[in-house]
Structure 1
Amino acid sequence: MSTLTLRSVRPYGGGEPVDVVVRDGLVETIAPTGAVPAAGEVVDLDGRFVGPGLWDAHVHFTQWVISSRRVDVGGTNGPDEVVNAVRRALHAGAPRTDGVLVGYGYRDGLWTTPTSLRALDEAFPDDPVVLVSGDLHAGWMNSRGAERLGLRPDDSGVVAEFEWIAALQRFQQAASIPVEAYGEVAEAAARRGIVGIVDYENVPNVREWPERVAAGVRSLRVDASVWPDRLEEALAAGLRTGDDLDADGLVTMGRLKIVSDGSLNTRTAWCWDPYPGADPHAEHGCGVQSVPVEELRRLLVRAGEGGILPAVHAIGDRANTEVIEVFEELGMPGIIEHAQLVRDADFARFRRAGLVASVQPEHAMDDRDIADLHWAGRTGRAFAFGSLHRSGAELRLGSDAPVAPLDPWHAIAAATARSRGDRDAWHPEQRLPLDVALAASSRTKTAVGQPADLVVVDADPSSCDRDALRSMPVAATLLGGRFTHRAV
């Protein structure tokens, strides 16, 4: 392993410049600049600021890679705008996936005109069209697109949750994505200071990520999750959470990902109260319970017996209550992914049960209006990062990319400001202190003996306002003491 000296860097918060000596992938020495002999290559950083390398705790990496190849229908305000965007893409010769024109990013929760099968059939009678919702939980398609995916949508043209997620997985596997595309996206992440991701993609992660590393994708550490349909395969292989899956230790066995409910934008998050206009007695008036409680309990026990730890998606307040109760009953720690709406009485239960809240602050900025509409009167406890922190819960920040960009600086800015653009802070009482947001975006400390997973930035985060955090210039990223990004 090489030896490296980072000369004249300062910790976040200021202070006198120090030299950081890195040897064999670890921080060996931190001392005032010039106080100890330099070792190996010397990189003068001219007083820039150094901190722990950043992690994104929730990513769908293949979806993020693919998203750049899909027609962007985000920001549209109704079916007519979506049709126009797709029509322009067709005229421009947009690429297709297995013969299907795929769009991504529509969010219909605030639309006054609903989606319809007829609208897409009339606009595109000869072209298979499939549009992926911005939250990944639904697809809107025409008849030709549905036929290609083996689906039967109703008059809305939308298929959601269980059936959709399975179809999207099959369709995605049919797409040919070169390993170079994964490498380019991983390198882009490193340019934003990212050293690691938790990949919750519903694909054979434990096989595919070591293959990518062997093929040269070496810019990130990866926790590779497994979904219930591949749990028995992982157990049979003797895999346990934390096991190395490649020779260099870049890929580790992650957690069992279980989806217990739907999403806010699709109005399928499982809540105690019905959605506006929904029949409270209807099957899905309060959202969708994706996994029955008994099956959730069985999966947690089965995975735990083999040393695979759980991460459970829970967005609605009823989903969070039910999931917490199962964890409490089993006496098993774990991660709750999203925790977007939580009952007041349940915040303290995160800490008591030893549960980590893995949250995505940029979602609060994207979804504040739809939350105000569909969770009216409850948004004081929606995306309630401050309440979770004050309750003593451990927090981890992520993006859920491609639902939000793979950029922890966006998450940090959203968590600490609760605002974006020209809008006032939304429920500012739920802001996080900067030091908490930074700690929730990393796994190490800048300290002797720690892994040399580091980020060097041009500005001190503690002196940056919201927009400066969001656009933070990253001068260098180091993973185990080697540069994965270097602009100095």
Structure 2
Amino acid sequence: MTVSSTLIRGARLVSVGRPTPTDLPVDIRIDGGTVTEIAAGLRPRGAETVIDADGRWAIPGLWDQHAHLTWWAQSRSKLDVSGTSGPGDVLRIVADHVASLPHPWRSGAIVGYGFRTATWPEQPTAAMLDTVSGSHPVILASGDGHTGWLNTKALALLGVPLRDGPLLESEWFDLQHHVSALTAASENIDDLLRATISDAASKGVVGVVDFEMAAGYLEWPERFARGIDQIRIRPVTYPDRLDDVLAAGLRTGSELADGRGLLTMGPLKIFSDGSLNTRTAFCCEPYTDTEHHTLGHQAYDHQSLVELLSRGHRGGMDIALHAIGDAAVDQALSAFEATGAGGGIEHVQLIRHDDIRRMRELGVRASVQPAHLVDDREVARQCWSDRTDRCFALRSMLRGGVTLALGSDAPVAPLDPRIAMAAAIDRGADATTEPWNPDEALTPAQALSASTDGQTTVAVGSRGDVVLLDDNPIASGSSTQMGARLRALGIAATVVRGRPVHLAL
């Protein structure tokens, strides 16, 4: 991507600090990757790109603060097993897919995505998949990404000891590279990523924090060199590659080679617990739907977690600490306090009220994925029936002085900030469903502010990342109306560092 000079004419500026956009249209000049002028009647210069906004609404570019880009790109072409209510539904989908293959005797792997077992009447087994998969290895990933359901042939192919039940958490995560290698022969990852990033740009996305488990700090400069360079990327790293990242002289915020100002090093990602759907989120009180009174899974004891954060902090890394259960959030805050590390907590699906105060005092932000509340609503009622009032406490955190940053965790939810913002506003409500904990809903201005990477409006000196909208994103209405408006919001143009990467004018 080259740095472009672009003039946007006739746009109305939206500021999250004002209840309504500026009525008088203005022109916006972006030069050298930065907004340099905002005024009425600016004239084009030379070969400058000109975009006629025709009175549309201009906002800072949207960010997804937590996504897995390669996984999302691959999942968009995988067998869809979401929305299933039990193993039988999935088996019918797999059987129909096998029957539809032009050469069903060939043993190429079948990879699917999206099932959720938490509310199923029975749990999946390898033997079940064996009955419908023929000669094909079958690898199915759960909707939250924390479980793998494989048939016997896939287990053998990946060198996993035979077992009947699914693979959970770390055992499943450790296989991700091998699963990707297994399917890579039939996929062009670059083509999938180009299509995925183009789709993201069409939804107003100018940047993504990429939580892939691969060596993103090495892979993304290579991808940029191959022309996959439309938006900003911040790849994270994990503990197993931390020493390599530090040895390369990188820290959070470092510009990566040949990224032309669009590639910067992200934080150190650490898991401190599991997930709600697998009942491995670490909680202060037992899950309410199990006989074993489990509290979930604690990935590290306090001292081990402190040592890991200290390693990253000494090397200049911010921390992105995965914590879903309230006990994990409490432990995370204790580790931040002990080390002085900066960064945030990823997910924060369940939090005690006193820990909101601690987050504010420590300056720890909450990186949250509001669309998950739609999928996890019934699961939370089943597993956390005595504490759902503390689930996805977005307004309480914001009111308590905690900075929010919205994302998708794609492919767990679609990479689309409009969906995330809408869920934060309407709390999953529609014509037939009541909002879940409506007291925790955000306003459109609050949701937008949490989606623009700290940019509250398009202003002189701000990044040259601008999105033109067909409607006013912070217009008033009922929560259901405002959520529906955001989901359907038309994206007329997306400009990244002065370069138009999406136009639908």
TM interval, short-chain normalised: over 0.9
Mapped partners of 1:375, 1:434: distance in 2: 28
1:58 — aligned with what?
Answer: 66
SS at 2:267's partner residue? strand
Cα distance, 1:271 vs. partner?
0.9
Cα distance, 1:466 vs. partner?
1.3
Aligned match for 1:77, one of 56, 80, 85: 85
1:42 — aligned with what?
Answer: 50
Q: TM-score, normalised by structure 1?
A: 0.95
1:162 — aligned with what?
Answer: 170
Mapped partners of 2:203, 2:173: distance in 1: 30
Contact 1:98 1:174 survives alignment (8 Å): no
Mapped partners of 2:88, 2:414: distance in 1: 26
For 2:92, give the aligned amino acid.
Answer: N
Matches within 5 A, 1:269-348: 269-280=281-292, 285-348=294-357
Mapped partners of 1:301, 1:99: distance in 2: 45
Mapped partners of 1:229, 1:208: distance in 2: 16
For 1:127, give the aligned amino acid.
Answer: H
Cα distance, 1:153 vs. partner?
5.6
Aligned match for 1:438, one of 418, 435, 448: 448
Q: Give 5+ residue unaligned stretches, structure 2.
A: 15-19, 476-480
Matches within 5 A, 1:161-240: 161-176=169-184, 177-240=188-251
Mapped partners of 1:169, 1:387: distance in 2: 39
Mapped partners of 2:315, 2:88: distance in 1: 51
1:360-412 CA distance string (max 9 Å, x none)? 00001111111111110211111111111111001000000000000000001
For 1:210, give the aligned amino acid.
Answer: P
For 2:458, give the aligned amino acid.
Answer: T
Cα distance, 1:131 vs. partner?
1.1
Distance 1:181 1:290, change over 3 A: same
SS at 2:371's partner residue? helix
SS at 2:63's partner residue? strand
Contact 1:153 1:159 survives alignment (8 Å): no
2:263 — aligned with what?
Answer: 251
Distance 1:255 1:480, change over 3 A: same
Distance 1:269 1:98, change over 3 A: farther
Contact 1:280 1:286 survives alignment (8 Å): no
Cα distance, 1:91 vs. partner?
1.4
2:478 — aligned with what?
Answer: none
1:145 — aligned with what?
Answer: 154
For 1:400, give the aligned amino acid.
Answer: D
1:192-218 CA distance string (max 9 Å, x none)? 000000001100101111111110011
Residues 1:6 and 2:12 are matched in the alignment: no
Instruction: After superposing the two structures, state which structure 1 stretch, 93-102 or 271-280, moved more.
Output: 93-102
Cα distance, 1:235 vs. partner?
1.2
Instruction: After superposing the two structures, state which structure 1 stretch, 8-17 or 69-78, moved more.
Output: 8-17
Distance 1:85 1:401, change over 3 A: same
SS at 2:58's partner residue? strand
SS at 2:241's partner residue? helix
Residues 1:452 and 2:497 are matched in the alignment: no
For 1:449, give the aligned amino acid.
Answer: G
Cα distance, 1:293 vs. partner?
2.7
Mapped partners of 2:102, 2:284: distance in 1: 43
For 1:293, give the aligned amino acid.
Answer: H
Number of aligned residues: 482
Distance 1:175 1:123, change over 3 A: closer
Mapped partners of 2:246, 2:182: distance in 1: 26
Q: Give 5+ residue unaligned stretches, structure 1.
A: none
Alpha-carbon RMSD across the aligned residues, in angstroms, is: 1.9
Instruction: After superposing the two structures, state which structure 1 stretch, 295-304 or 223-232, moved more.
Output: 295-304
1:473 — aligned with what?
Answer: 490
Cα distance, 1:237 vs. partner?
1.1
For 1:264, give the aligned amino acid.
Answer: L
For 2:334, give the aligned amino acid.
Answer: E
Q: TM-score, normalised by structure 2?
A: 0.92
1:117-149 CA distance string (max 9 Å, x none)? 332233335332121010000111221121122
Contact 2:126 2:152 survives alignment (8 Å): yes
1:402-429 CA distance string (max 9 Å, x none)? 0000000000101111124431111000
Instruction: After superposing the two structures, state which structure 1 stretch, 378-387 or 19-28, moved more.
Output: 19-28
Contact 1:240 1:307 survives alignment (8 Å): yes
1:424 — aligned with what?
Answer: 434
Mapped partners of 1:38, 1:322: distance in 2: 55
For 1:250, give the aligned amino acid.
Answer: L
Contact 1:191 1:477 survives alignment (8 Å): yes
